[in-house]
Structure 1
Amino acid sequence: MTREEITAQCFVFLLAGFDTTATSLAFVTHLLARNPLVQKNLQEEIDQHCSRDTISYETLKSMRYLDCIVKESLRMYPLANM
């Protein structure tokens, strides 16, 4: 492979990762907009766990409700077909 082909492949992988993440977040946002109670419960969890200005990886891991919302979104709107 030439240097240009390697660069192009790297760009494709970067763009593919960006696109799937953006699509997943769009579906999560859509589900939250359609379910005000879920949105309220998530906001309560965020308020409970994120009292500081910064959010750590450990804080995100401890947010079970957020994890369930993301997993439900991926179940309802899978990014890849099996």
Structure 2
Amino acid sequence: MVDVIKGEILRKGRVTEPYSKDGHWRDPRPRLAAADGQIVITDPRHSLIRVIDAETLKETRTIPIDGQPFAIVAVGGSGASH
């Protein structure tokens, strides 16, 4: 977790093993999205989506998928009627 105002690392944790930045930019590597107190990280090497609690940085669940996830997006809404 980063304090973007002070530019300081507040907490850190390891979710996947290290990935190399060598190779093509389109190679599958971990990507993340954050929403509603959760951080969701792709783990292409293990064909998983890992869900992390944003406060504790502990993994709360994994979602197995087919293939290698390449990108991830968080989408939300207010629940208000239109």
Task: Give 1 or 2: higher helix fraction.
Answer: 1
Does 1 or 2 have the higher relative contact order (CA < 8 Å, sep 6+)?
A: 1
Task: Give 1 or 2: higher strand fraction.
Answer: 2
Whether TM-score is above 0.5 comes out as no
TM-score by length of 1: 0.25
Q: Which one has the largest radius of gyration?
A: 1
